[in-house]
Amino acid sequence: MESRVEQPCPTCLSQDGLTMLTLTTEIPYFGEHTQITLICDSCGWKHTDFIPSEGLKPGAWTLPLDSEENLSARVVRSSSCTVRISGLDLEVTPGSASSGFISNVEGVIKRFEDAISIVLKGPDSEIDDVRDIANDLLEKLERVKNGDSSAEIVLLDPRGRSQILHAKAVSRDLTEDEVTTLQVGYDLPHLE
Ligand SMILES: [Zn+2]
């Protein structure tokens, strides 16, 4: 369904309003949810997010990356979700350009690899320490992909819209500390 939202664009501040596409579907084990995409026609800004229809999910999800099978676990990551690979000190926090996505653990690792590769192609790669750390991380991610790792993937979402869909995924509520310190990024406008 397509509609207009009378909200300024968070990037170019255009007052022309945003185009909103909504689609409600069912994801096995995640349940019914609405996928919302906001688009600014002026600058091309695009934001995708997922809202579970059946209440909030627990704030934290963890899955050990000790087998190749776990890499195929599906991940619903909303825009307010911080993704960590603990053991490797890797983290993606919700920035203003952060969009939600549905992928699997392997796809999440690919996103980390891509980000590290961009650093390796940039001017900072001239710095020995930066290059060494980046190459070291790529090597460790390679081991993670072989299921030969003590690392874990962790989702932290104060808005309760994210989940790792796997029988071995462990969920818990966020601590008060986490709720106050975690970033949540751009919020969807109130639609009612
Ligand atoms: Zn814009």
Q: Residue 17 to residues 12, 39, 89: CA-CA distances in angstroms?
A: 11, 9, 39
Task: State residue 24's pLDDT score.
Answer: 94
Residues whose CB falls within 8 Å of the CB of residue 167, separated by 6 or more in sequence, listed in order: none
> Which residues make beta-bridge pairs with 84?
91, 154
* pLDDT computed for residue 72 by the predictor: 94
- Asked if 163 and 45 touch (Cβ cutoff 8 Å), the reply is no
114 CA to centre of ligand 1 in angstroms? 26
Q: How far is the CA of 39 from the centre of ligand 1 (A)?
A: 8
Q: Domain locations in the chain? A: 1-54, 56-186
Mean pLDDT by 10 residues, the chain (192 residues): 91 93 91 93 93 91 92 94 91 82 94 92 89 93 88 95 96 95 82 51
Nearest to 160 by CA among 70, 30, 64, 48: 30
Helix axis angle, 105-121 relative to 128-145, nearest 10°?
A: 160
Looking at residue 53, its amino acid is: S
| Strands 170-172 and 101-104, bridge-based pairing | unpaired
Q: Cβ distance 160 to 56 under 8 Å?
A: yes
Output the CA 186–ligand 1 centroid distance in Å.
14
Cα–ligand 1 centroid distance for 80 (angstroms): 20
159 secondary structure, DSSP code = T
**Secondary-structure breakdown of the chain: helix, strand, coil percentages, each rounded to the nearest 5:** 25, 30, 40
What does CATH list as the number for 56-186? 2.60.120.1040
Which of 3.40.50.1000, 3.40.190.10, 1.20.210.10, 2.20.25.420 would CATH assign to domain 1-54? Answer: 2.20.25.420
C-alpha 46 – ligand 1 centre gap (Å): 9
Ligand 1 centre to CA of 4 (Å) is 14
